[in-house]
Structure 1
Amino acid sequence: MPYQELPLTTPNPILSWANHDLSPQEIAMAKNVASLPFVFKHISLMPDVHLGKGALVGSVIATKEAVIPAAVGVDIGCGMAAVKMPFTEAQLDGKLKKIRLDLEAAIPVGFEQNKNVERQVTNWQGWSDFKHLQSGVKNLETKAMKQMGSLGGGNHFLELCLDTDNQVWLMLHSGSRNIGNQLAMCHISTARELAKLAGERLPDPDLAYFVAGTEEFTSYWHDLQWAQHYASYNRDVMMSRFQSVVEKHLAGGKKTKPLLSVNCHHNYAEKEYHYGEEVYVTRKGAVRATQEDYGIIPGSMGAKSFIVKGKGNPQSYCSCSHGAGRLMSRSKAKKQFDLDDLIAQTQGIECRKDRGVLDEIPGAYKPIEQVMENQKDLVEIVATLKQVVCVKG
């Protein structure tokens, strides 16, 4: 299904790849963003679009000479990594639980962090720039070091998957941890204060923005890029450990060479060229999908996931969806489903099956097959994956 232009009276058009009707709150949120004076051309909504803070999750916003920190969000650089390994399903026989337990021991989840800081972490070049970050995070360097190589909570996960050729894949979802969150909150607060001082009437306080060329913009853009690099490297560190765990069980600890590696953001902003002009592109729950890009579109726990190649669709600003998208809130999922539902919906998957992950039940998400059908003009599918081990944050 190609995109449709929503029949709304906004200064900038809203193009949607979703096949479902947006709720009144979602329409209001889309209209708010599309009415901002610095928005470029149009807003693009991905097939998994749903309510967010300030801007819809699953929206791509191109802007001229301005950026909205709350549209990027607080999990700066959140994204995915996936690695295709030279192993097959037969080699996993009888080893899934041991792999899951070793993964849980190797990679801290939730609010946990690493007890020790390994060399791969201390070698990261970004630490030399820490002193130039926003002053509100100056005491967090040690914590940021200990959290690098940790998963976090919510919908973050580690998964061992099989593709349709029964080849083994490793996949994970995580971002910039507490340091990214704190940086984002500092800058969002500054943007709100500036809007207040200027007496600006915004359609939503969360759409407070920074103007290019100002000191505040420069500071935010610097910290944003730093946190995005942190997030990407955080995924690299975890993937190294993930590979070691799998190699221990499937290759006797011998190092192996991945057949394909992908690492992509889906909560971030970058300077890019579109329609012949340089613009700032914010992807809030969306993946870049130029013709050179590989991307990862995960389904929910218990559903399929997809490795994709971009088609470079200009109307979407060369973007695609970042997942299935939530069908219901976490609190609603906990009310609607019980433990028996979770056990039934995650049958055949080695994972936790307790109330602590009930809000991540597959039934709380949109059907991933429909999401993929809606973006045939944005990506082509390279591999279809099904998880056999899942560790939730």
Structure 2
Amino acid sequence: MKKFDLGRIPIKSWADEVEDEALQQAVNLANLPFAYSHIALMADVHVGFGMPIGGVLASKGVIIPNAVGVDIGCGIIAAKTDIKNINIEQIENIVDKAHKTIPLGYKHHKKPREWKGFDNPPNSKVVLEELEAARYQLGTLGGGNHFMTMEQGSDGHIWLMVHSGSRNFGYKIANYYNKIANEINKATKLSPSKQDLAGLYIDSKEGQEYFVAMNYALEFAKENREQLLEQFYTIFREETDSHKILQKIGIHHNYAAIETHFREEVIVHRKGAIRAESGELGIIPGSMGTPSYIVEGLGNEESFRTCSHGAGRVMSRKMANKLITREMADKAMEGIVHKGWRGDLSEAPMAYKDIEEVIANQKDLVKPVVKLTPLGVVKG
């Protein structure tokens, strides 16, 4: 862990290097009057909107919509199956069927989906407006870096992973309350206007409304992954002799929560970071073509009991499409079943940091439990 004294409170980083723009965003966080103790940067840190991805902010009395981000509740569910062997034909069939039957990208289900959360939504204008559309978005993957994969575990078992979030729900909630926060910030001046870090007092009407809506989006995102996993596992079971899932692990990596740290109650914002309480299992994915890890948290207070949410990007999507060739991307994915790039190379493995270095840099935060090697990938 490295320490930077560049703002009102220190910045503590577990990354080998922090790009200048991401470091400046961390300094902006450190200078907020309500920021508490220190800012923590995870090993996968890179620049985001307002707050760096892989950043952790603890605040006193203020919640920042943009410090959670637009994909509220984005996270991963990993499932250990009872299968230990799978052949290339089975992998190809599963990937093909998943592409044909599970809505990817902008596609939605043609019939509304069931979820008990639809019966009791919070009294938030933006949630209520989005409720009907959400019934068709539930159980859909989305695009960007969202994925479903089959992985060979170092424990001998085949694992399934799903990475997705709250779909349009989280996006609409984030933008709606960030706009409100910006308006309020003109009077409160809680943060400089040009830093995209406008906050809401947590005990205000608007702050409470956002907090409740955000938690609703977290539950929606969790249910979304569960339903995606159910669809994916159904296809997997049809192609293999699998009878059951032996273990499931689920985590969020974009959210804010009220927690106690250093004997103070604070609001911990994790943007592209996961909770790593002592003994708690988490998931740190690499990329489409590199390993991922099931990890066990060590409860390190210096990181606010947090670790990285993945490998972290080393280049933007625009830069990746400029610098990476199809040949380079195909070579990096040799032996892994996937459906090609469709003109977008931004998720190629070399667009991400070395996952082994990222894991090594946070050995005081987590310990690896199972190494997962990709076999087949379904990407939004």
Equivalent position of 1:17 in the other structure: 14
2:203 paired with 1:213: yes
In the alignment of these two chains, the number of paired residues is 380
User: Quick one: which of 168, 176, 186 aligns to 2:158?
Assistant: 168
How far off its partner does 1:310 sit? 0.4
Q: CA deviation at 1:137?
A: 4.2
Partner of 2:230: 240
Residues of 2 paired with 1:302 and 1:381: CA distance? 19
**CA distance in 2: counterparts of 1:317 and 1:239, whole angstroms:** 30
Q: Distance in 2 between matches of 1:314 and 1:82?
A: 26
| Mapped partners of 2:377, 2:88: distance in 1 | 16
Q: Against the structure 1 CA distance between its residues 264 and 39, is the aligned structure 2 distance closer, same or farther, given a 3 Å change threshold?
A: same
In structure 2, what is the equivalent of residue 58 of structure 1?
54
Q: Are the counterparts in 1 of residues 155 and 370 from structure 2 also a CA contact under 8 Å?
A: no
Match of residue 4 from structure 1:
2
1:333 paired to 2:316: no
Letter in 2 for 1:188: N
Taking the aligned partners of 1:65 and 1:391, their CA distance within structure 2 comes to 41
What SS does the aligned partner of 1:87 have?
Answer: coil
When normalised by structure 2's length, the TM-score is 0.97
Identity %: 39
Distance in 1 (CA, whole Å) between partners of 2:369 and 2:42 is 19
Q: State which of 292, 295, 299 in structure 2 corresponds to 1:308.
A: 295
Greater CA deviation, 189-198 or 143-152?
Answer: 189-198
Structure-to-structure mapping, 1:109-128, within 5 angstroms: 109-117=104-112, 121-122=113-114, 124-128=115-119
The answer on whether the counterparts of 1:350 and 1:390 sit within 8 Å (CA) in structure 2 is yes
- Could you list the structure 1 runs, at least 4 aligned residues long, displaced by more than 3 angstroms after superposition: 197-201
**For structure 2, which runs of at least 5 residues remain unmatched after alignment?**
none
Q: Following the alignment from structure 1 to structure 2, what is the Cα–Cα distance between the partners of residues 93 and 57?
A: 35
Q: Please give the secondary structure, in 2, of the residue aligned with 1:259.
A: strand
Which one of the candidate residues 14, 38, 44 is aligned to 2:34? Answer: 38
Q: Quick check: 2:253–2:271 contact (8 Å CA) kept in 1?
A: yes
* Structure 2 Cα separation of the partners of residues 354 and 335 of structure 1: 14
Aligned counterpart in structure 2 of residue 78 of structure 1, from 57, 71, 74: 74
Deviation per CA, 1:277-303: give whole Å up to 9, x if none.
Answer: 211111100010001311110001110
Deviation readout 1:156-185 (Å, 9 max, x if unpaired): 000011012441000010000001110111
- Secondary structure of 1:104's counterpart equals helix
Cα pair 1:54 1:204 within 8 Å, conserved: no
2:196 is paired with a residue whose SS is helix
Change (3 A) 1:263 1:94: same
What's the counterpart of residue 140 of structure 1? 130
> Cα deviation per residue 1:82-116 (whole Å; 9 max; x = unaligned)?
00000012x33421111001111232111111112
Matched, 1:87 2:83: yes
How far apart, CA to CA, are the structure 1 residues paired with 2:323 and 2:245? Answer: 41
SS at match of 1:82: strand
Cα distance in 2, alignment partners of residues 199 and 242 from structure 1: 47
Where structure 1 has 5 or more consecutive residues not aligned to the other structure, the ranges are: none
Normalized against structure 1, the TM-score is what? Answer: 0.93
C-alpha RMSD over aligned residues: 1.4
**Aligned amino acid, residue 290 of structure 1:** E
Q: What is the identity, as a one-letter code, of the residue corresponding to 2:125? A: S
Match for 2:63 among 38, 63, 67? 67
Task: For residue 24 of structure 1, report the CA deviation from its aligned partner.
Answer: 2.5
